[in-house]
Amino acid sequence: MFERIDTFCMRVTDIEKSSQWYEESLGLQVIFKGKGYRVLSVGSGHVPLTIEEGETNSSSNQSYPILYSKDIERTYIKLKDQNVRTSDLHHDEDNHYFDFFDPDNNKLQVCFFNES
């Protein structure tokens, strides 16, 4: 069903300011820019860090793993068939994705994009 952990996502209040900080302060490199988010390489590792602009709340953890699936529609249906709570399946310019939740209401996300 899943091929790998695609990325780890963190919310930030200002994508431009945060992206600059991660690049200059931590030496991370932007490998993809999307509307409201950046994907950053972390050293020689295979799992990047995604920073996503949005509302932040220090009283709850808003970080979540993103899992990659080559057949996101099939994965979506399989999780729905197993009565896993999911969001709608979304399609934007670059990605297909949906959220799902574990029994403790922890958010996880599944994505698909055409790999070059």
Q: How far apart are CA 76 and CA 56, in angstroms?
A: 27
Sign of the alpha-carbon dihedral angle for 83, 85, 90, 94:
negative
Cα distance between residue 78 and residue 87, in whole Å? 14
| pLDDT tens per residue, range 67-93 | 999 999 999 999 999 999 999 999 988
CATH (domain of 83): 3.10.180.10
Note the pLDDT of residue 106: 83
Name the pairing type of β-strands 107-112 and 64-68. parallel
Q: Distance (Å, rounded) from C-alpha 91 to C-alpha 112? A: 9
Q: For 34-55, what is the mean pLDDT?
A: 91
Number of domains in the chain: 1
Domain containing residue 94: 4-112
Q: Using the predicted structure, report yes or no on whether residue 15 has a pLDDT greater than 90.
A: yes
- Tell me how far apart the alpha carbons of residues 31 and 108 are, in angstroms, rounded to a whole number: 22
Average pLDDT (17-23) is 91
Measured CA to CA, the distance from residue 85 to residue 53 in angstroms comes to 24
